[in-house]
Amino acid sequence: MDNLEKHIRDNQEVFNDHRADRAKMWAEIESRLDKEKTKVIPLWKKPIFKVAATVAVLLGLSTLIGINFFDNTTDTKDGFVSQELQDIDMHYRSLVSYQVKLVEQNDKLSENDKQEFLSFMNELDKEYEELRLEMRNNLDNQLVLEAIVSNYKKRIELIENLLHHLKEPQIKDENYGYTL
């Protein structure tokens, strides 16, 4: 190491006091550069681009109007039917699921009887799914809705009859001692 290098290392803090002013340096460099003004021609001032923009706007508007016009005719009808089907489905599905739970939790039925009954309910579920598919195909929505409601009512009636039949012997046992 020579003395100069050693002196620089020992006095490094003194040399670091002065920092370069980058903004001032860039301003000096920029002032020396040749300034050419570039001519900017906006694209929207050219006639070809005006025509292209007009065509694009007209195509967009006609597409939006066409979509709204043609979709409105089928959407309102399907929306109404779908909403009606959802309402019916929510109402009856909750009733059926509650009553199926009652049957599953009933101690008086054997496991075999429960399985047989639940398999019959599954068949009615499959019939219901077929009716929903028919509803999507727009065959005759009113008839399909009536068939769906009748399917649910049939399920509820079967469950109620089973539960009533299971409670009947209990009622007879309670009334046995009160004969007048």
Query: Is there a contact between 151 and 131 (Cβ–Cβ < 8 Å)?
Result: yes
Model pLDDT, residue 132: 80
Please report, rounded to a whole number, the percentage of residues in the chain having pLDDT higher than 90: 3
Q: What residue segments make up the domains of the chain, in order of their start?
A: 75-174
Give whole-number Cα distances, 161 to 16, 58, 151, 156, in Å: 97, 66, 15, 9
Q: Is 1 a residue whose pLDDT tops 60?
A: yes
* pLDDT digits 0-9 by tens, 125-159: 888 888 888 877 765 677 877 888 888 888 888 88
Backbone angles phi, psi at 107, to 5 degrees: -85, -20
Q: What is the pLDDT of residues 5-19, one digit of tens each?
A: 888 888 887 777 767
Q: Give the integer Cα–Cα distance in Å for 46 and 24.
A: 42
What pLDDT score does 76 carry? Answer: 47
List Cα–Cα distances, 80 to 18, 126, 140, 161, in angstroms.
79, 24, 14, 34
Instruction: Inform me whether the pLDDT recorded for 114 exceeds 60.
Output: yes
Global pTM exceeds 0.85: no
CB atoms within 10 A of CB 135: 21
Per-residue pLDDT, averaged over 106-135, amounts to: 83
The 10 Å Cβ neighbour count of residue 128 is 19
- pLDDT digits 0-9 by tens, 29-78: 888 887 777 777 777 778 888 888 899 999 998 888 888 877 655 444 45
